[in-house]
Structure 1
Amino acid sequence: MSGWGTGLPRFWRRVRHPRSRRLSTRILASQLAILAVTGLIGFSLLGIAQRAELDHTFEQRAVAIARTAASEPQIRAAMAARPEATPTGVVQQVAERVRAASGASYVVVIGLDRVRYSHPDPGLIGRQVAEPIAVTDGRTHAGIDVGATGRSANGKAPLYGPDGTLVGEVSAGIPETQVTSELWRELPTFGLYAGFALAAGLTASLLLARRLKRITFGLELEEIAGLLQDREAMLHGIREGVIAFDPAGRITVINREARQLLGLTATDVRGARLDEVVPDGRLRRVLDGTLTGGDLTVLTDSHCLTVNRMPVALHGRELGAVVTVRDRTELVGMMRELDSMRGLTDALRAQQHEFSNRMHTLAGLLELEEFDAALDYALESAGAEPALAESVRERIGNALLVGLIVAKTTVAAERGVRVVLDEDSRLGEQPPHLRRLLTIVGNLLDNGIDAAASVDPPPATGAEVHLLLVEETDHVLVRVADSGPGIPPEHVERIFEDGWSTRPDRGTARRGLGLALVHRLVQRHCGTIEVSTGPGAVFTVRLPLPDTDPASPLGSVISDGAAPYPPSGDIEPAGGGERW
């Protein structure tokens, strides 16, 4: 038995263990079973229909035989003369001749008194039939008759005498055996047609099985179900957004994290195209592959995202693309805070050196007994920093903005750039759009300082950045002008895109987000932003009054002074000195 068990044909083993059978084999077996059952049902229905058609045909043939007998002059004349019903009579002889010639099982002539005048069984001649005369209406009748000769296709025709009066009826029958024989002669042809149909279905099933195998890459049903379970667990278990697109650009897979990060509020976006669910902009161009590259940064209303798009191909077939979306809001905020601390550290270190130099100078004057000069120098040094803060406070009433401007001025001075607050600047203690002003002023000052410091050699008048802050009756005006090289005309349309920058990354804060953030804030609050092309860039921002959205989503995440000085961005509460 062990030898027989190990020698089982592979097919039989698969039949015994259906889970081991391939998907194509299962599909083929199922389709063959369906084809066999439907073919058998169709063949049976066709046989039944053909039998009914043959019954009708033979009934009409029986009617024709009855009409032929009813038209015989001898029978008409004899029945009009009211003959005796005898086996040797003229009616019996003529009727039997017609029966023999037509192959009918019987030709019976019946008078109006229901008496038989002819019959294949002479013993029934002269006896009455049980059923009434059917042709009294003058028409022929057909049907199935079960009589003394067995089951037959029956036809009845009226019998008229020479003068045209109804004298009886002629009933003719064709035995059922003839109908059955005819049906059996036709069934092989029907079986051949059914065989052709089964062969065509088998061929189509084989082609379909091969196509399904190619579509499913040879995976079996259990493997497909397992892949689906794994995919669902992976998609909704990771903390990154995942979107899959088919070759036509339609969304086929999207997880909850991607919906949240992209702000897709529709119930089900699967099957939709990007242009149907995502507005035009950098985000859509990154998602659809128009913008290429790795770790592309995209700024939304509430998130800083890193997006990667990867085309997918399998066995040389293009299957679409997979996009991963990562939330880098906290990371960017931490990097900006680190840059802020680094900038402050550098500024404090420089001030320490400057303070040491001043102390050395003061010590030298005292050693030389230049007491008056030492006193004047000490008073001048002590009043330098407070004078800067006081000059800013005279024009700007809000302490947060004053701290921001003073801090930027100090950092800029260490880079050889002078920040000048325009004398026409006027802003109250609680100006409208305060949180947005912190973001806008901080980022524009950072850009201006970087641009002015990049000029080598510096202009004859020195590297400068001019700031104007004015609260008008219907808007708040912010203008930042620098002495840098300006913006090339061909880049004017791109400077407000996420990630655009003329400077490389420093390894910490991501470049190219500051102007994009400023532009987004201004647009969302129906303001305007203008930029000149140079020499020296001039950014002019107008925010309309009144401030109808003082607690906007972006503004709500700006620090209330938690940083050493007010932040220039609005991603993390502790953000700081470097622009996005």
Structure 2
Amino acid sequence: MARRRGQGRKLSARILVSQLLILAITSAIGFVLLTYAQRDELDHEYQHRALAIARTAAGDPQIVQAMADGTGGDVVQTVASRIERASGATYVVVIGLNHIRYSHPFPDLIGKAVEEPIAVLDGRTYTGMDNGATGRSANAKVPLRGSAGEVIGEVSVGIAEKQAVGQLVRELPTFGLFAAAALAVGSIASYVLARRLKRSTFGLELEEIAGLLQDREAMLHGIKEGVIAFDPQGRISVVNDEARQLLGLGTALGSRLDEVLPDGRLRRALDGSLEGVDLTVLTDSHCLAVNRMPVVLHGRELGAVVTVRDRTELVGLLRELDSVRGLTDALRAQQHEFANRMHTLAGLLELGDHEAALEYAVELSHGEPALTEAVRDRIANPFMVGLIVAKTAVAAERGVRIRLSEDSRLTEQPGHLKRLLTIVGNLLDNAVEAVGSGGEVILALAEEEHAITLRVADNGPGIPSGAADSIFEDGWSTSPDRGTARRGLGLALVHRLVQRHGGTITVSQGPGAVFTVVLPLPDNDPAPLGAVFTVAPAVLEGAL
């Protein structure tokens, strides 16, 4: 799939420019807010300074004495002017209880009444911003008290607002330096972050990432193959619809395999514990081929991708084809044997030995019926009889004898019939493979009130030491692949059938293997012969 080319500005440049713009805006907003906060702080500071000056003026003995005597006049103005010059206040105004000004920076207003009421009659001090004759100023008002502590007037002190504004202007470069430093640090951090994000996206631009996501979704949900991706921590990061259907996964994203699948061959194949290509895994519904590949990009391990293919029908067809080939070989051998017998019979007739020819023909005619009747005496079900006779004939052509035990008994309609046919066919095939030419296999079937017991014994080499726990796993086999058939599925199939229907299967160790299967009765899940099964074991059953 061709890689799309990003259009316009690079992703890292976009991120950097966006972050720089955000930083510039936030720095400007912060600068303005800091300026307003500092302006408010300066107003309070100048109000407290005016309050200190007012208290100083209210405590001056000359002003107190002049106001107490009622003389006021030049003394109050002289002292107030001196305090203004010494403190840097814009004005120091002394007001009597009669609302008359006794001092003011504007001489024309001395001796004239103020319009606003006296604020300190309650004996408390007041601060705030005032718009008076000298302009806007930070103002403080304190009571002027006589010798006995009574309020005899008011001292109002103001410091022009322009002084606070001037100090603020002198502090602004410092604020600007702090904002510029913060902007510089943020710019460097933004640049580093943009480069890191660029590396994290492997150099892909936004349009490329969006295109890859669309392509991935279309591919994952369009292919008829299960796909599961794992991150480096082993958690499921991608799973398509086919994988959910084949593996029976629900909401698996973000979960580990041990959280969504029980322990077994399937989980070991998915997590990489089992190594190999096209690992065959048998589930309750499918026969799967599993492949796991690690994902490495630019030297970085990104996890692994697992593909799961459904081979249920294919394996069933291959097994059926292999069975047909075996039957074909057996028929060819029987044809050769039949031709030899016909030649012998023709020779006897040419020699005119009619009695010998008749005896030979009678002997031949009773051979096969005798085997069939011997099986029918113990097994009443015709399908099982046909299976045993066919397996016996095929095994005979390979030099192996299959013998039905004398105590075998099976009714005409036994429980688990479909499963019994599958189990018997698989176990007999495995036993014939194991013993080879000259070997013997003994089959025992016993139907009782509460269970059906099946036993297949052979005189072959038996199960290898220590392999009793693994022989029922998918893919386990002591024989190489033969023809088109996949080895190691027969015992796994039998094991799953037995377990799914509440039965047990055991195997002996040592020379000569003995497989014992017990299926409980009654059969709670009867399956009519010839019914179509949706699970993988049933698909494979038809190939036996």
TM-score relative to the length of structure 1: 0.90
Q: Which of 437, 452, 456 matches 1:476? A: 452
Aligned positions, number: 538
Aligned to 1:503: 479
Letter in 2 for 1:362: L
Aligned to 1:3: none
Q: How does 1:514-525 map to 2 (within 5 A)?
A: 514-525=490-501
1:489/1:533 contact within 8 Å kept: yes
Aligned to 2:378: 395
- Per-residue CA deviation, residues 431-469 of structure 1 (Å, 9 max, x unaligned), is 11111111111111110010011xxxx6xxx41111011
Q: Which of 443, 449, 460 matches 1:467? A: 443
2:76/2:103 contact within 8 Å kept: yes
- Per-residue CA deviation, residues 320-379 of structure 1 (Å, 9 max, x unaligned), is 000000000010111011111101111110110011011011112222222222112111
1:466/1:482 contact within 8 Å kept: yes
- State the Cα distance separating 1:551 from its structure 2 match: 4.2
Letter in 2 for 1:399: P
Q: Which of 369, 373, 380 matches 2:363? A: 380
Q: Which of 130, 148, 170 matches 1:163? A: 148
Aligned to 1:538: 514
1:424/1:470 contact within 8 Å kept: yes
1:557/1:573 contact within 8 Å kept: no
The runs of 5 or more residues in structure 1 that have no matched partner are 1-17, 560-567
2:280/2:288 contact within 8 Å kept: yes
Partner secondary structure for residue 104 of structure 2: coil
Using the alignment, how far apart are the partners of 1:398 and 1:136 within structure 2?
123
Using the alignment, how far apart are the partners of 2:373 and 2:534 within structure 1?
25
Q: Which of 332, 340, 351 matches 1:349? A: 332
- Per-residue CA deviation, residues 266-324 of structure 1 (Å, 9 max, x unaligned), is 2x211000000011100000000000110000000010000000000000000000000
- State the Cα distance separating 1:407 from its structure 2 match: 1.0
- State the Cα distance separating 1:570 from its structure 2 match: 2.8
1:442/1:569 contact within 8 Å kept: no
- State the Cα distance separating 1:161 from its structure 2 match: 1.1
Aligned to 1:420: 403
Q: How does 1:235-254 map to 2 (within 5 A)?
A: 235-254=220-239
Aligned to 1:9: none
Partner secondary structure for residue 543 of structure 1: strand
Residues 217 and 31 of structure 1: CA distance in aligned 2, closer, same or farther (over 3 Å): same
Using the alignment, how far apart are the partners of 2:354 and 2:435 within structure 1?
40
1:333 aligns with 2:316: yes
Using the alignment, how far apart are the partners of 2:385 and 2:159 within structure 1?
119
2:322/2:483 contact within 8 Å kept: no
% identical equivalent positions: 70
Q: How does 1:86-485 map to 2 (within 5 A)?
A: 86=73, 89-264=74-249, 266=250, 268-453=251-436, 462-485=438-461
Using the alignment, how far apart are the partners of 2:396 and 2:405 within structure 1?
17
Aligned to 2:18: 30
Using the alignment, how far apart are the partners of 1:167 and 1:234 within structure 2?
95
Aligned to 2:57: 69
- Per-residue CA deviation, residues 123-172 of structure 1 (Å, 9 max, x unaligned), is 11122222211112222111000111011011111110122111011110
Partner secondary structure for residue 174 of structure 1: strand
Using the alignment, how far apart are the partners of 2:424 and 2:481 within structure 1?
22
Partner secondary structure for residue 386 of structure 2: helix
The runs of 5 or more residues in structure 2 that have no matched partner are 1-5
Using the alignment, how far apart are the partners of 2:374 and 2:400 within structure 1?
18
Using the alignment, how far apart are the partners of 2:28 and 2:487 within structure 1?
75
Aligned to 1:570: 538
Partner secondary structure for residue 260 of structure 1: helix
**Greater shift after overlay, 367-376 or 222-231?**
367-376
Partner secondary structure for residue 489 of structure 1: coil
2:285/2:534 contact within 8 Å kept: no
Using the alignment, how far apart are the partners of 2:353 and 2:95 within structure 1?
165
Using the alignment, how far apart are the partners of 2:369 and 2:99 within structure 1?
142
Using the alignment, how far apart are the partners of 2:343 and 2:82 within structure 1?
155
Partner secondary structure for residue 107 of structure 1: strand
Letter in 1 for 2:141: K
Aligned to 1:58: 46
Using the alignment, how far apart are the partners of 2:197 and 2:19 within structure 1?
13
Using the alignment, how far apart are the partners of 2:178 and 2:374 within structure 1?
104
Using the alignment, how far apart are the partners of 1:141 and 1:219 within structure 2?
67
Using the alignment, how far apart are the partners of 1:547 and 1:127 within structure 2?
120
- State the Cα distance separating 1:34 from its structure 2 match: 0.4
Residues 501 and 480 of structure 1: CA distance in aligned 2, closer, same or farther (over 3 Å): same
Partner secondary structure for residue 325 of structure 1: strand
Using the alignment, how far apart are the partners of 1:549 and 1:68 within structure 2?
107
- State the Cα distance separating 1:483 from its structure 2 match: 1.3
Using the alignment, how far apart are the partners of 2:504 and 2:379 within structure 1?
22
- State the Cα distance separating 1:556 from its structure 2 match: 4.6
Partner secondary structure for residue 557 of structure 1: coil
Point out 4+ residue stretches in structure 1 off by more than 3 angstroms: none
Using the alignment, how far apart are the partners of 1:221 and 1:362 within structure 2?
88
- State the Cα distance separating 1:380 from its structure 2 match: 1.5
2:284/2:537 contact within 8 Å kept: no
Letter in 1 for 2:317: M
- Per-residue CA deviation, residues 10-48 of structure 1 (Å, 9 max, x unaligned), is xxxxxxxx9421100000000000000011111111111
- State the Cα distance separating 1:573 from its structure 2 match: 6.7
